[in-house]
């Protein structure tokens, strides 16, 4: 048997395995909770929050478990999972903002009852004072 065919797994202390398992399972449970919220909430504006906020927190919990496990198993600081978590933490809120803004625009165009735009001045039916 060659050396490439055999893999050596690191034996971690029980307390560390428990911490890693709790972090990963908590992250997976939060991701599941966000998925359930996506299915259960009635409107788009409510549905967009559940996966974006909770999935980001779940990703961070899984990242902490991964960094802890691979840092101890390899006897060096493993930060590759941190890059994934930072990418998720940056892109998910930005994507959520763009989706919500597009949905608000479409809802306003359709004449639905949504909050008014904050980027356009209010029109009070011609009662604005003009600077002359």
Which tens digits make up the pLDDT trace of 79-98? 888 998 899 889 988 998 89
For CA atoms 37, 42, 47, 49, the dihedral sign is: negative
Question: What is the number of structural domains in the chain?
Answer: 1
Are 87 and 66 in contact by the 8 Å Cβ rule? The answer is no
Structural domain including 95 reads 14-109
- Inside any domain, residue 1: no
- Inside any domain, residue 57: yes
- Inside any domain, residue 3: no
Give the tens place of pLDDT for each residue, 96-116. Answer: 889 988 988 898 888 888 877
- Inside any domain, residue 5: no
The mean per-residue pLDDT over the stretch 21-49 comes to 89
- Inside any domain, residue 22: yes
């Amino acid at each position: 048997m060659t050396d490439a065919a055999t893999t050596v797994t690191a034996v971690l202390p029980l307390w560390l395995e428990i911490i890693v398992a709790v972090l990963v399972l908590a992250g997976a449970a939060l991701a599941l909770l966000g998925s359930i919220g996506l299915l259960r909430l009635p409107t788009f504006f409510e549905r967009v929050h559940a996966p974006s906020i909770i999935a980001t927190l779940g990703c961070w919990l899984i990242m902490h478990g991964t960094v802890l496990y691979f840092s101890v198993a390899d006897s060096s600081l493993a930060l590759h999972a941190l890059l994934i978590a930072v990418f998720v933490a940056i892109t998910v809120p930005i994507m959520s903002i763009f989706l919500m803004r597009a949905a608000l625009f479409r809802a306003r165009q359709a004449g639905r009852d949504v909050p008014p735009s904050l980027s356009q001045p209010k029109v009070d039916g011609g009662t604005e004072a003009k600077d002359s």
